[in-house]
Structure 1
Amino acid sequence: MSLTGYLSEYSLAEIFNFVQDGNKTGLLSIDSDRCLSRSLDNSYHIAFQTGRVMSVSHGHGLEYRGLLKMMEQRQWLSPEQLTGLSINVNKLGQPLGTYLKGCNALDTEQLRLLFDAQVVANICKLFGEIHHGRFNFNPQAPLIYAEMTGISLHAKEVSLLGLRMLRDWSSLSGKLPTPTVMLQRISSTLPDLRLDSQETKVWNLALGELSIEQIAAQLGLKIERVQQIGFRLCAIGLLEEVLPVAIAKPIELQPNSSRPATPISASFLGKLMGFLKKK
């Protein structure tokens, strides 16, 4: 069953979490509000396999020649190889990068560079530029092996990379946790995700006992920085926000008196007696 909605309802991080937690395979299409006359200039197409990001196409990437074009620009393949692949690329039963590595046409380092340019760079651009628009996840979409390097990343890890590279947080300012909110780990063990040093420090202190402003003071970081880190780690399901519990103050008694300084209303006493009678 396909999933369709708007980025105003579900954030990109939430969509990526849905795909990984559900171990989903399919194609996620993102159309920005800036897309006019069905132009693909602001469209993204992200291929997932069992919860992992396999490829990202931007703009006119649905022609399924983006990966070959990148190889051609880097002059990593001969004209004869490019011609043969262009004719037979849709017949591949495996990722194009895996096929070329098996033929000794490309090595692991070259494939990693292609993956970073095709997936990581586009995801960072997507998270930085697209905050409003429509999305559709189609689990029935065929896998386009011609656009795959054979390298993949967990959807949550890709989401973390996108949020980590975000420079302008103005569009997400209303969603950041407040400075007085406490952060609590969802799991006692850190999942297999590569956190940076600041993210790791915040995660270690997220025991549901310190507020964001207290964590910031302890780590010597700006409060807004810890807010952003907290948002990232909450978005990928590592932390959750916990509201501070108000501690009731003891009733102060007047000197030489056994009665409270503040009078108790008759209505409150009536409700209390009714509650005790029910007991």
Structure 2
Amino acid sequence: MRMRPEGCLRPVIRTAGDQAVLVEFEPRVDPAVTARVLALERWLEEHAAQGIYECVPGYCTLWVAYNPAVYSYAQICGLIERSAGQLDSTVTGHTRTLEIPVCYGGEFGPDIGDVAAHNGLRVEEVIEIHAAGEYFVHFTGFLPGFPFLGGLSSRIATPRMPKPRQAVPAGSVGIAGEQTGYYPITSPGGWRLIGRIPIRMYDPRREDPFIVHEGDRIRFVSITPDEFTDLKAMDDQAPWPIPVRYTRVSAYEEV
């Protein structure tokens, strides 16, 4: 069973068990679509928090678990339908862009040569292309705080490794297909590793230990091995202040 609100940008609502629905926007990886997903999540948190157990965003979907003692299926669908007309004003606002240092190649990026060879490039070109991008955080998952980033140039897109590593060091920056992201903690993983971040990207010492969230944007700044060592030493002493700038944007702007 499904319900489609009127209007081309309004979502489709599908059942997802007896206490959840899956809200689907346009099926494409696009910051404008994700911005509407996140706007709906915020709207539900503000207007229906007591009846919502959890919201889990994806590239173009929002999974909503609700309390059936508060909302029936028809009521939760009606609530989401009513919210759709109010999202346009919600998705426009200020977004954060974080500048995150990365040391590319060498021991920190053991797969960067594979990425270069796959795309017919030199390693220096891979670094230049990756560091030139501005990446939109569509959602986090897999690991706490692992960001799935949109905006990777197709010039350096590379398939995952055929066999995942048992342990990827925390801070490793990787490529998988047309996605890029980083590992906030040490874990198994199969992304192609091209560099490493010297600061803790999951840091319980900070007020916000996850640092990066859905809707943020990231720019990676290429640093030298010596700079990596210095920044890591500073971050080990106290959380290093990540440069952040705020920009007023619309959900309909392209990244």
Provide TM-score, normalisation by structure 1.
0.20
Larger radius of gyration: 1
From the two aligned structures, give the one with the greater helix fraction. 1
Richer in strand (by share): 2
